[in-house]
């Protein structure tokens, strides 16, 4: 019997031994009994090995999950520290009415965010600028041609109308805040 048998090999050997017992009409010879004992011992050793490896892997998984949780907490703390520091610098720069502070090697700037469109009152905006809305296929909305649609604002069209064409659309505002960047 090979010492490095797989579980499948052990099972096949057991089935072969049971076939021999069947062929001998249930007679178990001392040789067959020895083979059965060896097969059983191999199965027990293999199961012990598998159980050991499974326990080891489960322990490793618990350890990795613990490390992941610790890393996630550190990431959140780091992000919170960055945000507090940016807010402090932003407040200082606002108070001094400046958009840039230069150090010897680096600088901190307040830069504009991309313009952001907010629809405050969709009905008012749709009445004032129906061309700025599109039908979007979704479930549980207006049914047209057997498909469900909802009327949604086309934010790009509305933003362009306000910023590029200078139109005023009731119920819609474009905001543009600033953020802190380091260089």
pLDDT in tens, 69-91: 999 999 999 999 999 999 999 99
- Is 169:120 a contact under the CB 8 Å cutoff? no
The average confidence (pLDDT) of the chain is 89
Mean pLDDT, residues 122-147 taken together: 72
Q: Report the pLDDT value the prediction gives residue 156, as an integer from 0 to 100.
A: 86
pLDDT of residue 134: 74
**Where do runs of H (alpha helix) occur along the chain?**
7-23, 30-96, 122-128, 155-163
Q: If pLDDT is split at 50, 70 and 90, which confidence band does 148 have? A: low
Cα dihedral 104, 100, 114, 123 sign: positive
Confidence of residue 40 (pLDDT cuts 50, 70, 90): very high
CA-wise closest residue to 102 among 168, 183, 174, 2: 183
* Residue 46, pLDDT score: 93
CB-based contacts of 124: which residues, under 8 Å, 6+ apart? 170, 171
Q: What distance in Å separates the CA atoms of residue 127 and residue 131, rounded to the nearest whole number?
A: 10
The CA dihedral of 78, 84, 86, 88, to the nearest 10 degrees, is -150
- The answer, as to whether pTM is greater than 0.95, is no
pLDDT value at 142 more than 90: no
Percent of the chain with pLDDT over 70: 90
Tell me the CA end-to-end span of the chain in Å, nearest whole number.
70
């Amino acid at each position: 019997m090979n010492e490095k048998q797989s579980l499948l090999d052990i099972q096949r050997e057991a089935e072969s031994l049971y076939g021999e017992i069947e062929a001998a009409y249930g007679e178990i010879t001392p040789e067959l009994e020895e083979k059965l004992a060896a097969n059983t011992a191999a199965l027990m050793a293999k199961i012990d090995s598998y159980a050991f490896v499974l326990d080891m892997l489960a322990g490793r998984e618990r350890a990795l999950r613990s490390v992941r949780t610790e890393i996630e907490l550190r990431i959140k703390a780091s992000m919170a520290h960055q945000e507090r520091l940016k807010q402090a610098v932003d407040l200082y720069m606002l108070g001094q009415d400046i958009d840039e502070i230069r150090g010897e090697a680096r600088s901190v700037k307040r830069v504009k965010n991309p313009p952001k469109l907010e629809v405050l009152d969709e009905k008012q905006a749709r009445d004032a600028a129906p061309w700025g809305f599109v039908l979007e296929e979704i479930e549980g909305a207006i049914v047209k041609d057997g498909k469900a649609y909802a009327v949604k604002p086309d934010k790009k069209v509305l933003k362009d109308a306000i910023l590029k064409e200078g139109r005023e659309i009731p119920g819609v505002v474009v905001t543009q805040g600033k953020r802190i960047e380091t260089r």
